[in-house]
Amino acid sequence: MDVTDYASLARDAGLARVGARPHLFAYLAEAWSRRAFAVTLASYRIRAANEENRLGLAWVVLGPLLNAVVYGVIFGVFLHTAPNNGPAFIPYLIVGVFIFAFFSDSFSDGAKSVIANAALVKSLSFPRILLPLSSVLQSLFEVIPMVVLMLAIVAVFGEPVTVAWLAVIPVLVLMTMFNTGVALIAARITTHFRDFRQFIQFITRIMFYTTGVFFSLEQYLQGDPALLFIARLNPVHDYIALIRWATVLHSPFDPIFWIIGSVGAVAFFVFGIVYFWAGEETYGRD
C-alpha cells in the first residue's frame, strides 16, 4: 500500500491530517471554546511584566502618564502645539497619549505573539489565533485603568462630567476590533517575514505623528481640506478625536469620525481573522 492509499484510508476513516486547517467557522468556534486560555495568558503577561518592579502593576498607568508629562513639557511648553480652540492642553494630551498607547501596544505585541511563543506553537495543538488575541486582551486590560485615570484627570482640570462620556465605551469597542485586526495581520506577516519586526517601530512612530496625539489635525490642516480628509482616513485618529469630543472638546463633531471608525474596525477585524486563519497550517513550521 503506497502513501496515496494510506491517505485515502485515513480520509475514509474520518481521520484528519495533523495540523490541518479547519473550516473558518469551526476554527472560530474552537477558539471561542478556549477563550479562557487567551484571557489567562493576557493576565499572566501583565503580572510577569511588572512583578519585579517595586510599584508592580502601578506601572501600567505610570508609564503612559510619564510619557504624557514628557510630551506635555516638550510640545506644550517649548513648542506650543496646544490647540487654540479652548480645551486645556493637559487633558487633551492625556487622551491622545493614553488612547494611542492602546493601539501601539496591541500592534507591537500582537506582531510578535506567534514567534515569541514558538515552543508553545510547536508542542501543543490549539487555534493559533489565541496568541495575538491574548496580546490585544493584555493591552485592553491595561488601557481600562488608564481610561479611568484619564477621566479623573479630565475632571480634575475642570471639564464637566456629561452623558457624552458614555461614548468612550463604544469607541473602545470599535478600537479593540480594529486593534485585533491589525494584530492578526501583523502576526502572520512577522511569522513569515521576521524583518517586519524592525519596521514596526517606524510604522508606530509615523502613526504617532500623524494621528494628532499632541496637536489638532483639524487646526493645522484647515487650509488643506484634501490632506485633512486623507488624515481622517486613519481610524486611530478618529478614535482619539471621538474620545476627545466626548470628554474634552464638547463641540459639534463630524459624523465622518464614527463612519470611518466603524468601517475601519469591521474591515480590519474581518480581514485580519480571515488572513490569519488562512496561514494557520504554516505557524511553527518556518
Q: How confident is the model at residue 86 (pLDDT cuts 50, 70, 90)?
A: very low
Which residues form the domain of 123?
Answer: 22-282
**Per-residue pLDDT tens for 214-257?**
777 877 787 788 888 888 889 999 999 999 988 887 666 778 89
Domains held by the chain: number = 1
Q: Is residue 7 part of a domain?
A: no
Q: Is residue 10 part of a domain?
A: no
Q: How confident is the model at residue 132 (pLDDT cuts 50, 70, 90)?
A: very high
The alpha helices in the chain, defined as continuous H runs, are 3-12, 24-33, 35-50, 59-71, 89-111, 118-123, 130-156, 168-192, 196-210, 217-220, 225-232, 235-244, 256-278
Q: Is residue 14 part of a domain?
A: no
Report the predicted TM-score, pTM, of the whole model to 2 decimal places. 0.85
Once rounded to an integer, what is the mean pLDDT over residues 172-177?
97
Q: Is residue 11 part of a domain?
A: no
Which string of DSSP letters, residue by residue, matches 99-137? HHHHHHHHHHHHHTTTGGGHHHHHH--S-TTHHHHHHHH
Q: Is residue 6 part of a domain?
A: no
Higher pLDDT, 157 or 186: 186
Q: Is residue 17 part of a domain?
A: no
Once rounded to an integer, what is the mean pLDDT over residues 267-285?
91
The residue to which cell 485615570 is assigned: 149
Q: Is 161 exposed, middle or buried (0-12, 13-18, 19+ CB in 10 A)?
A: exposed
Q: Is residue 12 part of a domain?
A: no
**Per-residue pLDDT tens for 67-77?**
777 766 666 55
Q: Is residue 2 part of a domain?
A: no
**Per-residue pLDDT tens for 93-122?**
888 888 999 999 999 999 999 998 888 888
Would you say the C-alpha torsion 106, 107, 113, 114 has a positive or negative sign?
Answer: positive
Once rounded to an integer, what is the mean pLDDT over residues 1-27?
63
Mean pLDDT of the chain: 83
